[in-house]
Amino acid sequence: MPPSRSFDRRAFLRVAGTSGAAALGIAALGACGERLHDPEVPPLPDGLSVPGGGAVSEFAPVDKATWRVQGDPLVAPTGDGPLADMRLAVTDLYAVAGQQIGAGSGRRLAEAPVETGTAAAVARLLGQGARVVGLAQTDDLGYGHSGVNQQFGTPPNPRSEDRLPGGATSGAASAVAQGSADIGLGVDTTGSVRIPASYQGLYGFAPSRGAVSTEGLFPLSPTFDTPAWVCGDLDTLVAVSGALLPLTAETPFRSALTSDGINAVAEAGVLGAVRGALTSWEKSSLPRLTWTDTDIGRLPDWYDAVVDVQGFEAWQLHGDWVSETMAALGDEPRRNFVDASRIWESTYGRKMIMLAEASKTITAYVGDSLLLLPATSSVAPERTSYPSGDRFRNTMRTTGMLTCLASISGLPSATVPLRTDDGIPVGLCLVGPFGRDRDVLAVAGSLGDAGLID
């Protein structure tokens, strides 16, 4: 590896600034102290057949921070295939016939209709032999990255017990990390699978935008919403991806690239783990790795544009409902929605134009290569972190500068687990050209043989 180029991360982040959010005048909402109780929606009778879902058997979860409802199975497979006998945890943002979409909110669950159909991605996995063993918790309406749900609790992070699990695919990721599920189906809107995969030492994959149908998915930001998944091992990740992705001819990568500037957005512990992996990459038979300089000065603006576009769309979809139930939301989603309510339509239009240009720049930069970068800027914050506080938001801001590259351009990304010198999980992200999902997975699948991962 060539000597590290001069880069002052601290100076860059100081110039980039923080979110700039002023103290919010919503203390009265939070002070209401409203903590809804689980509405205890009665389970369907054992063995009840639901449309498109097969026989189900429900039981109330012991761990309500991870699961909203569980079953053995909750929904039986509808076919046979490479996912036979695999246990599927579905984030409670997907329609499952005979169930409601709670979206991490007891109030939303109490009002939600029973679904008569099953989301396309879930149905596809059922058809390949997987069985649903539960609906997993998420941040309120899926609008958070901490994994904290102040009504139902914070799911554990089994790989780093004193740290947050990451959201919004928090419950499903925790279920996989605990060994109570083989597959965690979530949504990667702006990093909501990549972040918990990195924090919990899991394998994750977010496909090219549009490659997997969002039919039956509870929306947050249609511009970015993308079905994505986490698994505990590479073989399962590849099998799940094969079941969900369209068939395409595989073309091996000839080259990979990385950037000191992009990588240095990450903190020292993460950067050390990533650089160690890159050193191993250079010594392997993996695609030839080149180090490129690139202008990262636009990353803060790009990240802010992603936040504004996501926020405007989230408010258009849910603002009326949220306005009436704001005090029932957790601190992080509530602050996110308050910020979202202040975004003008004219701002949204400008930011969409900016992201269209950014997408062209990112796509041209990646070219036909595989981009390697840290999945997150830090290890998982400690569980004592205040998820709506400035420190957490600044950490998520720097992580967002990394995740926004794939989010903006809709490029496929695989997250593979690494560890810091202290043994804390972090992730290496492999971002490929649009539509080359299976090529990215082929490289990810060879990392064990190359000695990059255990």
Assign 296 a pLDDT band (cuts: 50, 70, 90).
confident
- Residue showing tokens 């419950």: 171
pLDDT for the residue numbered 37: 33
d(CA 264, CA 358): 20
The 8-class DSSP code of residue 350 comes to H
pLDDT for the residue numbered 56: 56
**Average pLDDT in the 178-196 region?**
98
In angstroms, the Cα distances linking 169 to 135, 166, 198, 319, 415 are 11, 7, 12, 22, 14
Of 9-23, 145-159, 202-216, the least confident: 9-23
Task: Say whether pLDDT at 234 is over 70.
Answer: yes
SS3 label, residue 426? strand
pLDDT for the residue numbered 54: 46
d(CA 425, CA 428): 10
**Average pLDDT in the 113-137 region?**
98
pLDDT for the residue numbered 229: 98
Task: Say whether pLDDT at 360 is over 90.
Answer: yes
pLDDT for the residue numbered 47: 37
pLDDT for the residue numbered 3: 40
Contacts for 69 with CB less than 8 Å, ≥ 6 apart: 43, 58, 60, 61, 99, 134, 135
**Average per-residue pLDDT for the chain:** 89
- Residue showing tokens 């003008």: 344
d(CA 164, CA 157): 6
pLDDT in tens, 388-409: 788 999 999 999 999 999 999 9
Dihedral pair phi/psi, residue 74, rounded to 5°? -75, -40
Dihedral pair phi/psi, residue 63, rounded to 5°? -95, 90
Contacts for 114 with CB less than 8 Å, ≥ 6 apart: 98, 99, 100
pLDDT for the residue numbered 85: 95
Buried b / exposed e across 51-65, counting CB within 10 Å, b at 16+? Answer: ebbbebbbeebebbb
pLDDT for the residue numbered 453: 83
**Average pLDDT in the 13-17 region?**
42
d(CA 134, CA 91): 9
Burial class (CB in 10 A: 0-12, 13-18, 19+), 314: buried
Among candidates 413, 416, 415, 417, which has minimal Cα distance to 439?
Answer: 413
pLDDT in tens, 37-96: 333 333 333 333 443 444 457 888 889 999 999 998 999 999 999 999 999 999 999 999
Assign 200 a pLDDT band (cuts: 50, 70, 90).
very high
Under 8 Å between Cβ of 318 and 219: no
Among candidates 173, 174, 160, which has minimal Cα distance to 205?
Answer: 173
Half-sphere exposure of 331 (CA within 13 A, CB side): 18
Under 8 Å between Cβ of 39 and 69: no
pLDDT in tens, 255-264: 999 999 999 9
Q: Which domains does the chain have, with CATH numbers?
A: 9-445 (3.90.1300.10)
SS3 label, residue 90? strand
Task: Say whether pLDDT at 217 is over 60.
Answer: yes
* Tokens encoding 443: 């490289």
% of the chain with per-residue pLDDT over 70: 87
pLDDT for the residue numbered 8: 43
Under 8 Å between Cβ of 216 and 94: yes
pLDDT for the residue numbered 384: 92
- Enter the pTM of the model: 0.88
Task: Say whether pLDDT at 120 is over 50.
Answer: yes
Contacts for 346 with CB less than 8 Å, ≥ 6 apart: none
Peptide linkage before 73 cis (omega within 30 of 0): yes
d(CA 149, CA 410): 28
SS3 label, residue 309? helix
pLDDT for the residue numbered 15: 40
Residue 438 one-letter amino acid: R
Among candidates 430, 454, 419, which has minimal Cα distance to 269?
Answer: 419
pLDDT in tens, 341-350: 999 999 999 9
10 compared with 138, residue with greater pLDDT: 138
Assign 294 a pLDDT band (cuts: 50, 70, 90).
confident
Assign 387 a pLDDT band (cuts: 50, 70, 90).
confident
Q: How many CB atoms lie within 10 A of CB 49?
A: 13
Taking each continuous run of H as one helix and of E as one strand, the counts in the chain are 14, 14
pLDDT for the residue numbered 30: 32
Assign 438 a pLDDT band (cuts: 50, 70, 90).
very high
- Looking at the DSSP bridge assignments, the partners of residue 161 are none
% of the chain with per-residue pLDDT over 90: 82
Under 8 Å between Cβ of 38 and 27: no
Task: Say whether pLDDT at 35 is over 70.
Answer: no
117 compared with 51, residue with greater pLDDT: 117
**Average pLDDT in the 305-324 region?**
98
Of 2-16, 97-111, 117-131, the least confident: 2-16
**Average pLDDT in the 111-138 region?**
98
Do strands 131-136 and 67-75 pair parallel, antiparallel, or not at all (unpaired)?
antiparallel
Return the H-helix or E-strand segment holding 88: strand 87-91
Rank 34-48, 290-304, 407-421, 437-451 by mean pLDDT and report only the highest.
407-421
The 8-class DSSP code of residue 163 comes to B
SS3 label, residue 425? strand
pLDDT in tens, 167-176: 999 999 999 9
d(CA 105, CA 62): 18
CA-only gyration radius of the chain, Å: 21
SS3 label, residue 430? strand
185 compared with 293, residue with greater pLDDT: 185
* Tokens encoding 427: 């992730």
Task: Say whether pLDDT at 123 is over 50.
Answer: yes
